[in-house]
Chains A and B, each alone.
Chain A
């Protein structure tokens, strides 16, 4: 069942073009994000999938303009959000975007909440900051938000430590959605939670997303969560998107050798398999990326050309599914 197609329009809310983010350190330059392309329509949810060090979180921080500088720098590209390039915005202008138009949920709810302020007041803070309301109105709206995420008003004055992990993440979600943002970035929101609690939180996010018609970037390493909650999926490797497409197209017909490797690495509870087929080798060091295609040392089907040339263009697999790999580009066929 398509999640959000009814509300999704054709207008791109977010369109990232050739984004590169580097961390410039004394030991060398960490190329965390390299020529990343991504676009998202209103009301859509895209899953950003990749392993540790793929650049998922740096991409998210880049959109929020929260990459720590120094050492981090957006060294190239554009982040078009509702028609404006966020990379060109002043710090003051960004403060009006963050929390109001784009919010972010982090992995660990305990470290993103203030331990000495009651949860209700933490939600009210963001409302007071971005909306012209009185303190009393902000508090009332905060309690309303808590109800929406399933926390009763009696508990509104409690502190984060009095809540369980799943409840804390609900509070964080309430803060993120308090000003009805156009874009919500969720960075591994359920990774720290148990699976039955994760199911509760994902269900809640699905419902709220529908209610508020929020677009969402769901950063995760779990392809199961993508299948559950997303409309589109982008697979990241070594700082760029290697394959992107409609969830159904990509899951049924993965093309990039890395994507296929990821699927084969997962123990499948639906099937009986004797042994898993892992991807050989290790994630490359972003300070010293391999020449050519960064995946070639781990790729079983790499050709000689893959060692020299990095794929730069996306090839259309279908209308809603594109892959960045030399194996699919016509230009290399004759070489």
Chain B
């Protein structure tokens, strides 16, 4: 029986802007079981990174619940939050911007251990840092170098080592391989996979790259303009995408195979603004299957089969 580690209910995050409220995350629900990975995929501005941050309370939610190990962390006070942060960590996209350029590799990895008083002595701290470096495949000789001396792949390993320092159970991976070359990207994806198995980690893996998402995920959620439009186990969505947006997204990926020919669906226009979105389906303006009902009624995320949910008026059980 899979155990729910994280459950998100009716989560909303609106930002106030001069032109009206920006619906970054607009009423989404999902759960992640312990040891599994939920892949959150979508294009720029769809709210996937905001979701990752709201779930960790790095930004405050406008409404909704984030239930972690049975407790709503949005009600936590400062002390409880500090405790929660030991269990839930994040790895950021840009391994240059997320590492302090004036701290050495070992200082960066040691920082969470020092702040949370996890080391009994200097020797113990040093030992733990070296162990973490070894875990992520960083050579011990690099302990005194600075991030700018390293390439993107090694820098991202520092970010991963830091995220593992407090032995978390849950990690938000926010586009962790997007800035890396493919050969290095594959190294990092394999590392994350090994770590997940060894440490029974649970990931919320955010990416715009469906290939990466398929590779890492147990379940996949597709976001469009602040809403989850489709949720599925990792395999079915690629065989048989249901939501028109998922179909278009999948068909738009250039496949590195000259013998596979996909029918390409070219969407019209750009992603509309998330500020004061009109009623009805968010995808209405670009949808190639739209009907009158889609204009006024916002579709809800309906359970279609045991593992699949879709928010579209045109998809029935």
Contact = CB atoms under 8 A, between A and B. Distances in A.
A195 interface: yes
A309 B195 CA distance: 39
B259 interface: yes
Q: Which 9 A-B pairs have the closest CB atoms?
A: A224-B254, A278-B186, A223-B256, A199-B252, A267-B215, A265-B186, A194-B43, A51-B181, A276-B186
Interface of B: 43-44, 151-154, 181-187, 189-190, 193, 208-212, 214-215, 235, 238, 248-260, 264, 266-267, 270-271
Interface in A272-325: 272-273, 275-280, 282-283
A275 B259 CA distance: 23
A277 B260 CA distance: 22
Given A195-B249, A273-B215, A282-B151, A222 B184 contact: no
Given A195-B253, A278-B190, 10 more contacts: A52-B152, A196-B43, A197-B270, A198-B252, A202-B254, A267-B215, A269-B250, A275-B193, A276-B186, A278-B183
B190 A247 contact: no
Interface of A: 51-52, 164, 166-167, 194-200, 202-203, 221-228, 247-248, 251-252, 261-270, 272-273, 275-280, 282-283
Contact of A265 (B151, B185, B210, B266): B185
Nearest to A222: B254
B258 A267 contact: no
A194 B256 contact: no
A84 B171 CA distance: 57
16 contacts: A51-B183, A198-B252, A202-B254, A222-B254, A224-B255, A224-B256, A225-B254, A262-B182, A265-B182, A267-B209, A267-B214, A268-B256, A270-B255, A278-B183, A279-B183, A282-B154
Contact of B208 (A195, A248, A272, A283): A195
Contact of B211 (A52, A269, A275, A279): A269
A264 B187 CA distance: 11
Nearest to B245: A196
A5 to B, nearest CB: 15
A282 B189 CA distance: 15
A195 B258 contact: no
Contacts of A194: 43-44, 208, 271
A289 B73 CA distance: 52
Nearest to A248: B258
Contacts of B259: 251-252
